Amino acid sequence: MSMRQATVDDVPFLVELWADGLRRADRQEQVSDLELIVKEAEESAERRLLVAEYDGEPAGAVLLRVVPITPLNLEPAVQAVAPQVNASFRGKGIGSALMEAAVQWAEDLGVGHITSAAPAGSRVGNRFMARLSLGPQAVLRASTTPLVRAKLAAMQPASARVTDRVAGRRHLGQLLAARRQLHRRTGEDSA
């Protein structure tokens, strides 16, 4: 097994490997995103995108970044983003080698912390991180902006919602959000 810096030629492999973590878009947009990430890693002293090869075949990858532990805790950490092993190569020590590369780089830089994440539903990934002594520090949650807007509106006290209706006016923010959503839908329908 060997480890090397990713190149643009690795992008098709990375698109397949990280399919669940990429933005919801057509394949060409995902390819463009990853080409940009590869180029940024090649040019940055604070990023590395590594590909693990097993018998000459790409088997896994990890994006390493030097970042603050959190936006509020500015102590630097090496963040191992999406350490992933192709299913056909699991159980061969590749995941450990990817994390070893993160540790080695942190030591080389004098960085005292490693952070990483595994998808919430990945039992194997979360157990692997726990075995490496990476404990949970926060829960990252995500949703669409319109859904959060709708939930916030539903959480308003009933008296506030009734007052808006009695006055015969809609809240300006809700009206603008509805117009934007309608505009997006009609734009998608015509595309």
Per residue in 141-177, pLDDT tens? 899 999 999 999 999 987 776 555 545 555 677 778 8
pTM: 0.79
Q: Would the pLDDT of 11 be above 60?
A: yes
The two tokens of residue 38 are 């590869």
Please provide the average confidence, as pLDDT, over all residues in the chain: 90
Question: Helices 172-190 and 145-155: crossing angle, nearest 10°?
Answer: 150
Contact 81, 31 (CB under 8 A): no
191 has a pLDDT exceeding 70 = no
As a 3-state breakdown, the chain gives helix, strand, coil percent values, each rounded to 5, of: 50, 20, 30
Q: What is the mean pLDDT of residues 12-36?
A: 96
Mean pLDDT lowest for which of 54-58, 107-111, 170-174? 170-174
Instruction: Convert the pLDDT of each residue in 111-147 to its tens digit.
Output: 999 999 888 888 888 999 999 999 988 888 899 999 9
The pLDDT tens digits of the residues spanning 32-46 come to: 999 999 999 999 999
